[in-house]
Chain A
């Protein structure tokens, strides 16, 4: 098969400790190898930066609530469209792009793997149908389990092993990748129009607490040896003062860290990093959260950066989305899912002049800049909640250049500027650190051994950026940084050049990753026996029809994982 030699690029491969070294990268048969023949196609990457393809750990790209967002907002699509070409399908963009456009735009930016972080198990067939229609990038999805009736009942009855078998079965049944928890207990309370405001409050009827749910699922994650830690959207998202809940949640699973590994990934922490007691005195809780993370090794986060635009919020946090509707009086979609979870979609415009939005912008950046170890941080905008993923280059520029931050600081609400610590923070991310937070750390966190690095055996997913590393002063030249990360000089996926200078030159299907969790047969059997009757009592579908066959995924990548039971 085809061979490629990427010559003379400045390589950034943090998982292999390569920091801007000028070296060649060899590709053969879709993998990184240590040499190629003279027949190899040569890409001259002189004066360019070479990185593994980007790995986005949290981006809402597929499934029922994303599509509800598309249908809700024809006006979002009308100004941003893509005309079909010989190689590409047409589509629309802006904050909730159509599926083909999503794949192409990520590939143009040098991203080659993206995970949909929140899928309701009952509707995950829909998620997979959409993932199948997202070209080029590899994908996966995280099933929502934090408000699942079966899990809450197992928890109440303290049936840990049986619940582990259930979660294992569920991951296989719907072809999911990791345990996602959104507003644990809170979205179930919202099933009655109610809410939960602290970690020790009991969920109506189920009488378990958010803290118990998080600890329970963390234990199960350990038992099942899943590749990614529990992925948690904490309670009280969007409420002033919620940074306390965030730290409490992180602390709740400190003792469950297995072999010193990360026991919790807290997502889009910006939205859960609010200090203050009201919208009027909202402040950044980033220093407190950063302080906690700097002192602990069991936590990692993704930031959920706000990028100041008209965008669409969408989460499984039904009650939060309702509050956002009340605040903004925008249009509002709510979609509760039986026995499992909920969802909400509300368009939203972040304005620089708005005090709260400006503080939010500051919080995300402060988190990234105050947390010392970049391996604990993943760069996201929680697309599209904080902003569309096409805004990532802006975030990179803000992180790498104090000047870029100052420029924006001078435009934001003046009271917010005064309130934030951000103006006084000098730190500037290096390219190496950017490579960590956009690909190396995310791939590592997901347990994707062949992604996020360019060592021999890795998937040949490569991004070549037009950045003359040696002559570059990113602090001053942040505009060049933005430009370079907007579109690669080359994006290579599985050893094929898919994008060149912002144009898709070749399309492909991309794989859907899922975890095939294995537990002991007898435990599985007994769990299923007990489950069957309750399943059909709670749901309105038959168990057989809930299960998704692997062939349904079209291009599936199964990760076998053996559990402790």
Chain B
């Protein structure tokens, strides 16, 4: 295949600031130019070719970069990328695809926390598990991802989509607590189980949970029972309890919870009449 292949020369011991590694930054550069780019390894500046073997060719406008090795200590891969493909044949570290606006990132292993933090476009696919705060934002900023798509085929940690504004997050495994906390828009889809507190303090947006959710917060109202719900263009079959909230934030967010997976939530049905 055409494109660049960067293979780790050695095990990373201290954190690597890998934010320069994205198609956006490397496109159009010769191999030598790429080799001479600098990045921080802990508190020392090093050149790319001290950390990576660089091979391949950089001809395409739409550059594909393949990374080979364990990148668990590489932070910020794909930072601000706006096109092209970044494939990681291994694990990825923190802040993968931070502020991304276009293109595709694929991770064959696990990814750390803050996948797609403040992203506005593009797609990130994680084959295995992801850490906490996927699709969220920086502390105190009160704004998470604004667009784009994050797909985690394994499990994700806590606070997926915290302060999310728009975009779509899909987790095919299980999710930790507080998915969609302080959410303002967008969609979070959890195929597996959720540890709890889904949609806490949300103002708007949509959360769909197909698996087990131990309880729903007391600040949510039960609105209806729905046969199905749309996630992107796909129709997901229910039936679902539809909750709205978080009332503590005057929220009008929608929380869809699978009825079949959650017999312990049946008691909420008695409150359905009250809403009418």
Contacts and interface: CB of A to CB of B under 8 A. Distances in A.
Interface in A265-309: none
B13 interface: no
Contacts of B142: 75, 331
Nearest to B143: A75
A74 to B, nearest CB: 5
Interface string B127-152: 00000000000111110000000000
| Residue of B138, B139, B140, B142 with most partner-chain A CB within 10 A | B140
A73 B139 CA distance: 8
Interface in A306-353: 331
Contacts of A76: 140
A72 interface: yes
Contacts of B140: 72-76, 331
Contacts of B138: 74-75, 78
Nearest to A72: B140
B65 to A, nearest CB: 26
Contacts of A74: 138-140
Chief secondary structure at chain A's binding surface: helix
Contacts of A72: 140
A506 B141 CA distance: 35
Nearest to A78: B138
Contacts of A331: 140, 142
Q: Give the contact-size bracket for chain A.
A: under 10
A262 to B, nearest CB: 41
Contacts of A73: 140
A537 to B, nearest CB: 39
A74 B139 CA distance: 7
A78 B139 CA distance: 10
A72 B139 CA distance: 10
A198 B140 CA distance: 37
Interface string B2-38: 0000000000000000000000000000000000000
A73 B138 CA distance: 11
Contacts of A78: 138
Interface string A476-502: 000000000000000000000000000
A90 to B, nearest CB: 13
A498 B141 CA distance: 35
A78 B141 CA distance: 10
A311 to B, nearest CB: 15
Interface in A49-77: 72-76
A74 B138 CA distance: 8
B40 to A, nearest CB: 12
Nearest to A330: B142
| Residue of A73, A75, A78, A331 with most partner-chain B CB within 10 A | A75
A554 to B, nearest CB: 30
A75 B140 CA distance: 6
Interface string A520-538: 0000000000000000000
Interface in A382-425: none
Nearest to A79: B138
A32 to B, nearest CB: 44
A74 B140 CA distance: 6
Nearest to A73: B140
Contacts of B141: 75
Interface string A66-99: 0000001111101000000000000000000000
A75 B139 CA distance: 7
Nearest to B137: A75
B142 to A, nearest CB: 8
A497 B212 CA distance: 68
Nearest to B139: A74
Contacts of A75: 138-142
Interface string B95-122: 0000000000000000000000000000
A331 B182 CA distance: 13
A245 B70 CA distance: 67
A533 to B, nearest CB: 44
Contacts of B139: 74-75
Interface string A222-258: 0000000000000000000000000000000000000
A455 B73 CA distance: 61
A78 B137 CA distance: 12
A472 B250 CA distance: 57
B182 to A, nearest CB: 12
Nearest to A76: B140
B207 to A, nearest CB: 23
Interface in B123-175: 138-142
A331 B140 CA distance: 9
A331 B141 CA distance: 10
B203 to A, nearest CB: 11
A358 B141 CA distance: 25
A268 to B, nearest CB: 26
A73 B141 CA distance: 8
B84 to A, nearest CB: 25
B75 to A, nearest CB: 15
A375 B151 CA distance: 64
A74 B142 CA distance: 11
A78 B142 CA distance: 14
Nearest to A71: B140
A78 B138 CA distance: 9
Nearest to A77: B140
Nearest to B138: A75
Interface string A346-390: 000000000000000000000000000000000000000000000
B92 to A, nearest CB: 22
A76 B142 CA distance: 12
B16 to A, nearest CB: 19
B31 to A, nearest CB: 30
A216 B225 CA distance: 68
Interface string B256-267: 000000000000
B80 to A, nearest CB: 13
A346 to B, nearest CB: 13
A75 B138 CA distance: 7
A125 B41 CA distance: 40
B138 to A, nearest CB: 5
A101 to B, nearest CB: 18
A331 B143 CA distance: 13
A73 B140 CA distance: 6
A516 to B, nearest CB: 41
A331 B142 CA distance: 10
Given A72-B140, A74-B139, A75-B141, 10 more contacts: A74-B138, A74-B140, A75-B138, A75-B139, A75-B140, A75-B142, A76-B140, A78-B138, A331-B140, A331-B142
- The 8 closest A-B CB pairs, nearest first, are A75-B141, A75-B140, A74-B140, A74-B139, A75-B138, A73-B140, A78-B138, A75-B139
14 contacts: A72-B140, A73-B140, A74-B138, A74-B139, A74-B140, A75-B138, A75-B139, A75-B140, A75-B141, A75-B142, A76-B140, A78-B138, A331-B140, A331-B142
